[in-house]
Structure 1
Amino acid sequence: MSFNLADVETIYAEDPKLKRENVKSLSEWVEQQPHLPEITELQVILFLHSCYYDMEAAKTTIENYFTLRTNSDLFHCATEEMIKRTLSMSFIHLFPKKTPEGDVVLLMRLLDRRPEVYVCLEHLKVMTMLMSLYFHQYGPANGMVAVFDMEGAALGHLTRINLSGMKQLLYFVQEALPTRIKSVHYVNTIPMTQQLVALLKPFMKKEIYRMLKFHYSYDSFYECVPKKCLPKEYGGDLPDVLTLQEGNVKNLMDNLDFFKWHDNQKVDESKKVLQNKNKKSFFSLTSAFKKLEFD
């Protein structure tokens, strides 16, 4: 593997709480699990950091992450056509400038507001690709702040939400994502926003639900996410949305080999030790788990 990924020595130097001996111990544990794929030192660091250096929590997150990626097409690499199509319709970006707390900001907004061109599963797939690539390229962030700009959203978009896909995404975010979720913001909030949240609430942990913040003015939003971390369209210091999107698409296209490698990091269920086989999980209890259909 020869991708341009985050340098682990830099991460150790910048994070005094990250202990080499803990990373080594967790790496050895992964090697002793015959069903798990070979993973890199960087990936071990991401999981350990996201779990606030709790070894047992990191083990569970690793299990969830690779099992989920193995069993669901939602987390596999999209085609070049799908990537370009999705990012011509929506802006999905993790910004280079972090908040003062060291959190990375993920912003999503519609570019093409026609409900008939919105394909929920394709948007979810590309979003997870962007998150995965970002943390492999830049290493751990203190946390992640998600921002949903509801401008241009309509009831027609709500009717095109794929609940099975959203359930899988929320499980991924809450139980498997190798970063810390700090807050979730809705800006340009419209009445439909509450309907969307009500639709997804059954799949949310209380901790995530409490993180939701609804902004009816930018003043309250800027108190949470400074302007300097945002694009020009939001009064920020970053380039405009279309310029950022061009870089976004190029980065994905330049790293398709990374996603092919990552897709091959699969769990082999037949090699699970007996004590793990007997543990019930989201994957064994969700009958529709593998039934997502992409256009």
Structure 2
Amino acid sequence: MSTVELQQFITILVEGYGARMKSINIVTESKAVELIINTVKQFISEKVGNRMSVQRTLEDLQKVIPKHILPVEYGGTEKSVEVLQDEMVEELSKEEYVDYVKMMFSARTEEGKRNIGKFNEEYLGMPGSFRALSVD
């Protein structure tokens, strides 16, 4: 997975589904990546920074994430990443889900019914709102 795909995935997951990240685990032997992650942690909130970690080996990852959750490629007992991806694509491609997404996308306010700029005695005959009020 490329960094662009990862960023898009996280955006969809967080904004589209309202998911919350429990942790972000990066598996790499590169000390440069660990240095970058530690640098990034300084610029983000402590809460999010504490959720990010770098593991050097798959064994280290298995200490953090149970084997029954990890895909086979990462030494776990779950289905392979490819099978999981195919299942997700199949689920998200179902007609009922596509219809739901279309319905949610079309949900909007009816701006024609908004009461804008009309004279209203209830509000002292002044439309809009005040950002600052100066009294002489």
- TM-score, with normalisation over the residues of structure 2? 0.59
Q: Residue 128 and residue 260 in structure 1: after superposition, are their counterparts in 2 closer, same or farther (change >3 A)?
A: farther
Helix, strand or coil for the counterpart of 2:93? Answer: helix
Q: Which has the larger radius of gyration?
A: 2
Aligned amino acid, residue 221 of structure 1: L
Tell me what 2:122 maps to.
none
Q: Per-residue displacement from partner, 1:146-174 (whole Å, max 9, x unpaired)?
A: xxxxxxxxxxxxxxxxxxxxxxx7xx6xx
Tell me what 1:262 maps to.
104
Shift of 1:234: 1.2
Tell me what 1:228 maps to.
68
Helix, strand or coil for the counterpart of 1:198? Answer: helix
Match of 2:46 among 199, 206, 226: 206
Shift of 1:206: 1.5
Shift of 1:197: 5.9
RMSD between aligned residues:
3.7
How far apart, in 2, do the equivalents of 1:183 and 1:127 lie?
A: 12
How far apart, in 2, do the equivalents of 1:201 and 1:267 lie?
A: 40
How far apart, in 2, do the equivalents of 1:125 and 1:268 lie?
A: 31
Shift of 1:215: 0.5
Aligned amino acid, residue 198 of structure 1: T
Tell me what 1:194 maps to.
35
1:248 corresponds to 2:88: yes
How far apart, in 2, do the equivalents of 1:119 and 1:268 lie?
A: 39
Tell me what 1:50 maps to.
none
Q: 5+ unaligned residues in a row in structure 2: which ranges? A: 116-127, 132-136
Q: Residue 241 and residue 178 in structure 1: after superposition, are their counterparts in 2 closer, same or farther (change >3 A)?
A: closer
Identity over aligned pairs, percent:
20
How far apart, in 1, do the equivalents of 2:46 and 2:87 lie?
A: 36
1:218 corresponds to 2:86: no
Shift of 1:182: 2.7
1:184 corresponds to 2:24: yes
Helix, strand or coil for the counterpart of 1:230? Answer: coil
Q: 5+ unaligned residues in a row in structure 1: which ranges? A: 1-109, 111-117, 132-168, 279-295
Q: Residue 257 and residue 197 in structure 1: after superposition, are their counterparts in 2 closer, same or farther (change >3 A)?
A: farther
Tell me what 2:118 maps to.
none
Which protein has greater RCO, CA pairs closer than 8 Å, 6+ apart? 1
Q: Residue 127 and residue 184 in structure 1: after superposition, are their counterparts in 2 closer, same or farther (change >3 A)?
A: closer
User: Are the counterparts in 1 of residues 73 and 81 from structure 2 also a CA contact under 8 Å?
Assistant: yes
Task: Kindly indicate which of the two structures has a greater share of residues assigned to strand.
Answer: 1
Q: Residue 260 and residue 195 in structure 1: after superposition, are their counterparts in 2 closer, same or farther (change >3 A)?
A: same
Shift of 1:201: 5.1
- TM-score, with normalisation over the residues of structure 1? 0.31
State the aligned residue count.
113
How far apart, in 1, do the equivalents of 2:66 and 2:83 lie?
A: 20
